[in-house]
Amino acid sequence: MNWGDRVSPTVRAIPPSGIRRFFDIVAETKGVVSLGVGEPDFVTPWHIRESCVYGLQKGYTAYTSNYGLLELREEIAQHVNNKYGVPYDPRKEILVTVGVSEALDLAMRAILSPGDEVLVPEPCYVSYKACVTLAGGNPVIVPTTLENEFRVTVSQLEELVTPRTKALLISYPNNPTGTILTYNELAAIAVFAEKHDLIVISDEIYADLTYQGQHTCFASLPGMRDRTILLNGFSKAYAMTGWRIGYALSNRDFINAMTKIHQYTMLCAPITGQIAAIEALKHGDGDVAKMVDEYNRRRRLMVEGFRKIGLPCFEPKGAFYIFPSIRETGLSSLAFAEQLLKAEKVALVPGEAFGASGEGFVRCSYASSTTNLTEALKRIDRFVKNCR
């Protein structure tokens, strides 16, 4: 019996995540220096972990409100207002989710009807296209290039927008490129969104990991608060990937719609993670600043390292990834990653995992110790020399 035939055609058509597929190979290889995983190498700061332990001692083990603990929503509202000057009502305009992953899925399912198009600048996070497709929409890829440091421009968007376009999904700082957009670039996108009456889903999970200039919150741009579904979470900035806490902020109609789906599918985010997230927002700023300093040092090391090796790369201004071009080796990104792993035991992610416009590049995460990064650079140098 081939049960695969019974799987929904939509799900069958979605390829598995290119990152996971690659890391199954890595898991079977000993002595690998990995620049592959997109998660902090830091453990969640102790006071955040401790708050969860106290919470458990006090017996906080039950469901929370579907929206999330009110105290957490109040902290999120205060945090976003203090940082970006955008006010949200914690009772009606904030939903606590199981990571940004769930928030992305909810946003798509809440707004899309079958056949609606969503503009997705690429290279992009591996989930975006699948989330749009699973919600019945059609992702419309907007390819960006190294020549423009992977920035999406309004003229590119204008070329691809149609009467069926319902939304635009952006994420700056970007995974995998580390690109950020300036206030003026985002303001031009805001004018475009207004002109075509689009909803903007802005995944700002790397907002705190910005190394040059100030992060611009898309919802803070004139007229954008209600048009935007702003997503953020605790995974990256607070080194809390395993706690699975994210949040969505928007007008009450969108949050209400997302909460409807969330209450039937997830009920609520885990209470343990929510308690820890309150502590992170109350007392975690110093930890974030220390981690950002450390990432910044490693970022410079990697930029310098790749420039010495002679692989073209632009300086990433945010997140914790660098995205050098490997075109001159004549290898595809997958062949480069596979051969590097075999020859030198260094794991990185082939750019094609982030879409066709990622081909010719590899993503290296510098959320790893300086020792690991230095060793990886040495091995990549040797590998590239052998390719020449």
Ligand X SMILES: Cc1ncc(COP(=O)(O)O)c(C=O)c1O
Residues of the shown chain interacting with ligand X in the complex, contacts defined by CB under 6 A: 38, 99-101, 125, 171, 175, 203, 205, 233, 235, 241, 246
CB of 343 to ligand X, least distance (A): 28
How many angstroms separate the CA atoms of 221 and 218, rounded?
A: 6
How many angstroms separate the CA atoms of 283 and 266, rounded?
A: 28
Nearer to ligand X, 203 or 344 (CB): 203
Nearer to ligand X, 76 or 331 (CB): 76
Least Cα distance to 210 among 302, 316, 354, 307 occurs for 316
How many angstroms separate the CA atoms of 71 and 66, rounded?
A: 13
CB of 12 to ligand X, least distance (A): 24
How many angstroms separate the CA atoms of 288 and 1, rounded?
A: 52
CB of 384 to ligand X, least distance (A): 27
CB of 99 to ligand X, least distance (A): 3
Nearer to ligand X, 361 or 383 (CB): 361
Reported for 138-144, long-range contacts at CB under 8 A and 24+ positions apart, including other chains, are 138/164, 140/165, 141/355, 141/356, 141/357, 143/355, 143/356, 143/357, 144/177, 144/179, 144/357
CB of 321 to ligand X, least distance (A): 9
Nearer to ligand X, 258 or 331 (CB): 258
Where do we find the tokens 């952006």? 170
Nearer to ligand X, 132 or 205 (CB): 205
User: Which position's Cβ is nearest ligand X?
Assistant: 99
Neighbours of 127 (CB within 10 A): 15
What's the distance, CA 327 to chain centroid? 25
